[in-house]
Amino acid sequence: MIKNLELKNFTAFSDLKIDFHPKINVIIGENGTGKTHLLKAAYGLCAGAPLFKNKPNANTDELEVALTKKLLRLFMPLDDKVGKMHHQGATDQAHLSARFAGEKKVAATFFNNSKALAIQDRDSYNQYLAEAVFIPTKEVLSLVKGMTDKNYDQATVELIFDDGYVDLARSLIKAGHDDTDSKINLDPRMGAIIPQLVNLIGGRYQWENGAFCFQAGRYVEKNSPKRTKAKAAQMYQDSTVTEFLPTDGHLYSSGMTAEGYRKVGVLHRLLSNGTITPGSSGPLFWDEPESNMNPKLMKLLVQILLELSRNGQQIVLATHDYVLLKWFDLLVRPGKGDHIRFHALMNNCDQVTIQSADNYKDLNNNAIANTFSDLYDEEIRRSLGEWMTVYAEDDLEFDFSDALKAIRFDDNALHGQSTMKRVDFIAEYASRYVFLEVKDPDNPAAANPEAFRQKLLSGNLIPDLASKYRDSFWFHTLCGKAEKPIHYIVLLSMESLDPALLLTKQDQLHRCLPMSHRDWSKPFAQACVILNLEQYKRQFGAHAVRRKSAGA
C-alpha cells in the first residue's frame, strides 16, 4: 500500500504532496493538470518490488538503475534523458518520494542535466515486495499478440508503447489462469467478483495460440456432483459450484469485441491469474477506466471496485467522467468499510495544486461538476432566452415587477372547492406567460425534507409536476389566454442536488408532459426547465429571489 507521494520540480508539478487512502482514491482535474503523470510517478516508485523480489540484497546503485529505467520507460522523455522530466523553469533539483505501509520509504532526486536518479532515502524499501499494477487509458488485450510475440522486435515495441502498456501486456499472459473455475470455488472473494465481470460482458477472454480470444457465455451456479442431497441440505454453500457455461463453441478475436468489454476483460484476467490479489498485491493504478466504456457498464464496475477494496485492494484511479464519480458517491457503503478519497488537481497561476476530501461535495474546485453546471446554464439559456422573472412563496420572496400581470394561481379563492392541481404563480409578459411552481425543501421550517428527497429520487415527484402544469394549462386555455407561448419553470430549492440530476429530472418532466405531439399544431409548453436556487440567481440575478429567514 502506498501512503503518500511527494513530487517537487517533476514534470507538471513544482510542489505537490498527496496522501492516499488505503481503500479507493479518485483523482480528477482538467486536462494538463497531471493526473496521468501522478499515477505514473506513484507506479514508478513502486518498481523496487520486482527488483527486491528477484534480488533481496540489491544495493543502492542497482536501485538507482532500476528506478531510472522505469521512469524513463513510463514517461518516455525526449532523448531518453532523465533531465527532460525536470519541471520547466525550475532551478532547484527535482525530488520524488513515496512512503509505503510499514514506514517503508524511497526518495530520489535529479537535476535538469542528470543522467540518472540519485537515491536519497531507501529506509526499509527493500522489504517492499507488493508489486503494483498500472492499467493505462487504452485497452491492451487486442495489442498483446503484437507486443509479446517473439518474432517481433522488442526495441520497436518499446519505441511505440511505454511501460504502462508493456508491463500490463506481460501481466496479462502471466501463468496461473488455466483453471479459473477452481479458483472461484476455492476463494470466496473471487467467487463474488470474477463471475460478475464475466457476466457483465457476456463472456470471457482466454489466451489461445498467442492471442486473446473472446468466448461468449456466463457463470452459473450448479449443484456439486460430489455431494448427496442430504449433505447439500446441511450446507448449501458447499453443495454448489460456480461454472462457466459457453453459449456457443465459437471463439472471436478480441479485436472484434467492443473496447469497453476489453477493458473489463483486462480486470478479469488480472484477477484470474493472480496479478491482482486483494490483500497481498500492491496498489492498482487505473487511468480513466471509463474511457470507451458504455455508461451502463459503469455501475457494476464501480460495485466490483468497491468489493475489491473491501477485500484489501488499494485502488488509485483518474477520471474525467461524472457518471463514474456519481456511482462511487451513490454506491459507497461506510457500514461495509467503504471509503473513497477524492483528489482534485487544479492549475493556479501555472502551478498545479491539489485539494483532497473524503466527501465529493466538499471539493471546492471540481472541474467535472463545474462543467455540468455550465452545461445546465446553457440549457436554461437555450430554453428560456435572456428574460428575467421574480416573485414570493413561504420563505422565498420573488419579484415579478417586470411582468404585465402576476397572480397567485394556487389560491382557493380563485378555484373554490375544485380538485384541479395548479402551479403556484402565473405571470404575463409581453410575449409569453410564465407558469412558476415552487418546491422548497431547504426551507428551515420544512416539515420533512428527507421525504421530499426520496420522492424526487424515486421519480414520484415528476408526474405531480406534470399534472400541475396540465390542469393549469387547461384552466388558462378555457379562460381564452392561449394566444402566447408558455414557459413552465419549476424552482427546486435543494442545495444538495447535482446539476446533472436536475437535467435528468428535467428530461423526465419533458417526457411526462409531453412537450409535443405529432398531432398538435404547437408545443404544449414553449420551454420547461427545473432550476435550483443558485441556478435561478445566476440566470435572473442575485436580487431575483431571497430567503426571508436569512434576512438577505
Distances (CA, A) of 360 to 17, 60, 78, 318, 546: 19, 41, 37, 14, 28
Measured over the CA atoms of residue 248, residue 251, residue 257 and residue 259, the dihedral's sign is positive
Comparison of pLDDT for 227 and 440, the residue scoring more? 440
CA–CA dist 262, 205 (Å, integer): 8
pLDDT confidence bin for 329, thresholds 50/70/90: confident
Q: 100 — phi, psi (to 5°)?
A: -115, 175
151 contact partners, CB below 8 Å, separation of at least 6: none
pLDDT tens for residues 351-395?
899 999 998 878 877 777 777 767 766 665 565 554 445 566 888
> What is the per-residue pLDDT for 365?
72
Residue 20 has pLDDT above 80, yes or no: yes
Average pLDDT over residues 424-435: 90
Specify which residues 408 forms β-bridges with: 425
> What is the per-residue pLDDT for 406?
82
Residue 131 has pLDDT above 70, yes or no: yes
Where along the chain do the CATH 3.40.50.300 domains lie? 1-132+284-364
> What is the per-residue pLDDT for 174?
85
Q: 426 — phi, psi (to 5°)?
A: -130, 125
Residue 238 has pLDDT above 70, yes or no: no
* Mean predicted lDDT score pLDDT of the chain: 87
CA–CA dist 512, 428 (Å, integer): 25
CA–CA dist 428, 440 (Å, integer): 23
pLDDT confidence bin for 121, thresholds 50/70/90: very high
> What is the per-residue pLDDT for 532?
86
Dmax of the chain from CA atoms? 92
> What is the per-residue pLDDT for 42?
97
> What is the per-residue pLDDT for 224?
64
Please give the CATH architecture assigned to the domain spanning 1-132+284-364: 3-Layer(aba) Sandwich (3.40)
Residue 128 has pLDDT above 90, yes or no: no
pLDDT tens for residues 509-518?
999 999 988 8
Q: 145 — phi, psi (to 5°)?
A: -55, -50
Q: Report pTM.
A: 0.72
Return the closest-CA partner of residue 295 out of 313, 315, 322.
Answer: 322
pLDDT confidence bin for 180, thresholds 50/70/90: low
pLDDT confidence bin for 229, thresholds 50/70/90: very low
Show the 3-state SS of 386-414.
Answer: CCCCCCCECCEEECCCCCCEEEECCCHHH
pLDDT tens for residues 499-539?
788 888 999 999 999 998 888 888 999 999 999 888 888 87
Amino acid occupying residue 456: L
Highest mean pLDDT among 39-43, 110-114, 234-238, 351-355: 39-43
